[in-house]
A and B are shown apart, each in its own frame.
Chain A
Amino acid sequence: MMSWPFRIIGFLFWYAKEFITSNVTVTAEVLRPRRRAKMRPAIVAVPAASRSDSEWTMISSLITLTPGTLTITISKEHKILYVHGMFVENRGQLVAEIQEMEDRMLRAMRRAPGDLTRPTELPVVRPMDEAGESR
């Protein structure tokens, strides 16, 4: 395992690469004629390993910053990120992509990576009755 400052630099380079490739794919998709479109949008609940507020803010901003993926909302109590993806073949693919980014980010943000476990089962989320906070 690399030491902390190197993990930060490594993450920045990895993220820059992801940022540029996703920009290129989204730009190519816009330019592609409609009948050959590869777009497969989906909104997926991704279990997350973030704990502190700053980690939640960072991961959701980083997801939104790469074009093609967009955080719509988070549920801290269920530890879930609701992510809209532009090219999603199946649920697992987007979940794996987001979780890889989160793993790398947490290893860069935390001095010691600590616990990276995620809830394995999706919780049953019910809508709140009246205009509650997690609406």
Chain B
Amino acid sequence: MRHSLRETWSGLRRNLAMTIAVIVTMGVSLSLLGAGLLTSMEVDLAKRSLYDQIEISVFLCTEQTQGGQCEPGKATTDAQRAQIQETLEANPEVDEVIYESKEAAFEEFERVFADSPVLASRTVDDMQDSFRVSLVNPENYEGVVSEAKGLQGVQNVQDLHTVLDPMFKWLATLQWATITMSALLLVAAALQIANTIRMAAFTRRREIGIMRLVGASNLYILLPFLLESLVAGGIGIILAAGAITFGYWFVVVQNAATSITALPWITWGDLGTAILGIAAVGVTLSIVPTLLATRKYLRI
């Protein structure tokens, strides 16, 4: 064991420049990977919470509105209004139907835009009466939307999917870009490790030859190389873990979680999971290239 440790230490010192290169590449690529993992956890959380709250808004006709099932120049009649409410409430996918008159909508508008010049540009008559429909299962929205669109007196049906879907699509693209970049860097790190170890094995080929000849076990021969790449990989993992921990603390704990309380945020536990993930990747990417690089010298 002492022999292995001594050889590991001298190997690390001999290849100091390469070792530093491995540590830096490993650290940066694993940080990126960790950031990608955390982002994707957060996106999942936000998605679930936002989609769970999704309501469908069914807007009714006014005298000015066009399109949908409106008759030009006519507002939705009381009979139509009652019919719409009845139909919506009869749908088994619908949980609750709330009526919002245009007056109520304007009050809400006034509240939201209280300090804004936009307020002056609107009157009560610019608003529309609407039904707010919440669903039993927010994922099954399409049936309700298409049914509502076909009802007489309905001008338009809006659901947040049309807003959220493109946003999450972009977020997913961003995540994939991050993960692809980190994957490329990880390949570079693995190749660097393979190269470093191949050089180290080459400089020690005489010793290795004699070790094999006198019957040293493969593990014994391999151990200094494995330890060498694990030390470099391990430091890279620690750097990356530090980086994403700091990132989590700064971005989420210090800022986002206090200023955006409407969304759920990933926890320290999720951070732990991400760190375990990058550690597993880092250790694998240290061991596998080492085994491949030394195979030639260990073949009996």
Our verdict on whether A and B bind, yes or no, reads no
Which residues of B line the A interface, CB within 8 A?
Answer: none
